[in-house]
């Protein structure tokens, strides 16, 4: 029951995050700075073992989701700043 509950929560949280963005034009990769190393990591589910307390598992998943969300915000801010400097808007 716990596995089903967590799976349903995960799917429900992912359902509302689907945003279709236009495809970016291909540009010279060397022209862009690297994204910070801490934000390059892939967001992973923390996992659990049979017999663990369900509340502690849910809390770890919640912390992992918050961490991933914050990482995503930093990446978006990084690329928005990069885009504004590329288009000249950052110089204003």
Instruction: Render pLDDT for 1-48 as a digit per residue (tens, 0 to 9).
Output: 565 566 555 655 555 555 555 666 666 666 677 888 888 888 888 888
Spell out the domain ranges in the chain.
48-92
Q: Are 45 and 9 in contact (CB under 8 A)?
A: no
Length of the chain: 92
Q: Are 35 and 75 in contact (CB under 8 A)?
A: yes
Q: What is the model's pTM?
A: 0.56
Query: Which of 66-69's residues contact partners 24+ apart within 8 Å by CB, and which partners?
Result: 67/43, 68/43
Q: Are 71 and 44 in contact (CB under 8 A)?
A: no
Q: Are 90 and 80 in contact (CB under 8 A)?
A: no
């Amino acid at each position: 029951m716990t596995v089903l509950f967590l799976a349903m929560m995960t799917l429900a949280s992912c359902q509302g995050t689907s945003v279709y963005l236009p495809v970016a034009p291909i540009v010279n990769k060397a022209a862009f700075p690297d994204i910070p190393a801490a934000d390059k990591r892939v967001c992973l589910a923390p996992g659990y073992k049979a017999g663990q307390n369900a509340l502690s598992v849910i809390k770890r998943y919640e912390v992992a989701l918050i961490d991933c969300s914050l990482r995503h915000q930093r990446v978006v801010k990084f690329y928005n700043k990069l885009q504004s400097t590329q288009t000249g808007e950052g110089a204003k």
